[in-house]
Amino acid sequence: MLKQDSSQAIALKDQFVEAVLNRNSKDAAAAIDSALAFGLSPGDIYVNILSESQILIGKMYHEGKVSTALEHFATETALGQMIKVSNAFPSSKSNGLKAVVACVEGNMHSFGARIIADFLRLDGWEVEFLGSDTLTPDLIQFVSTGGVDLMALSVSLEEQLPHVQDIMEALRGLETSPKLILGGGCPQITSLVKQSRSPQESVKIIVGADPIEAMVGARILCGISETDSKLDSLEDYLVIIGEQIQKLRKEKSWSQATLASSCGLDRTYISAVEHGKQNLTIGAAVKLADALNTSLVSLLSQQ
């Protein structure tokens, strides 16, 4: 993967947003085609172009500057381009596990869930993505008959929590219950999980739709690694990733200061990451992968 100047992604994001606001699907697709041609990583395209464009247009919508129809058009255009990006990059070696990713009943916003689904696929999972507003009985039946190891659910509003409660109760009744990741931004999820009868070690809550936290959480919940060693906690995983980053940095004969300068992060942040003391955001991971001339998935894989 080629190291990219962040200004390139910013320019392509601006091009994508302008195309969407002008209702020009062809130019929007051209922006993503350019990103692929320039060698941007899937993380860079998802985060710095597609996600950032959604945030910007969503803000414009809430400020009354664009209509509901145009906001929907922007989302569907971005989702269409995500399919292109996902298909452009090979998955990691299969880990032999299956994940179902869905939005709970009543949640109409599938963009974040789609990012999680694609990153899990790139990480070696077999992924079945169900999209928005999945009826609870149908979701339970789908999961119970499909040999599913992990279910990731997007929950955006408090009124959707009864559906989550029903799903968690149904999972407890299965002979082999899949692990569960809950995200989507609903702040009441944590209290619901604490009050539930589900084993705490079988449920992971992530902030919003952070794909790195979802990837890490999925690995920890299912106890997988490339060496088949048990991952007991996020802290264990951060140590492994820190060692990987340090190894790649030293292979380039770089100091921490050099790496920090190359990826635009603070040296103390780099030091904390290398010592397993700092959680990684998707944005920081993309910058580190680009600076170290590796793919995002390779950077996050355990060696």
Residue 65 CA from chain centroid, whole number? 28
Which sequence spans correspond to the domains of the chain?
Answer: 6-88, 98-222, 234-300
Structure tokens at 114: 């789609």
pLDDT higher for 5 or 27?
Answer: 27
200-245 confidence digits (pLDDT tens): 566 777 655 577 778 888 888 888 754 444 445 556 667 778 888 9
Q: Considering Cα of 135, then 141, then 145, then 150, what sign does the dihedral take?
A: positive
238-296 confidence digits (pLDDT tens): 777 888 899 999 999 999 999 999 988 889 989 988 988 877 776 788 788 888 988 77
> Which option is the CATH number for 234-300: 3.20.20.140, 1.10.260.40, 3.40.50.300, 2.60.120.10?
1.10.260.40
282-295 confidence digits (pLDDT tens): 678 878 888 898 87
Alpha-carbon Rg for the chain, nearest whole angstrom, is 19
Structure tokens at 79: 């989702």
In CATH terms, the fold of domain 6-88 is: 1.10.1240
- The model's pTM: 0.73
Which residue shows structure tokens 């399919």?
83
Residue 203 near residue 137, CB atoms below 8 Å: no
The CATH homologous superfamily of the domain defined by 98-222: Cobalamin-binding domain (3.40.50.280)
7-22 confidence digits (pLDDT tens): 788 899 999 999 999 9
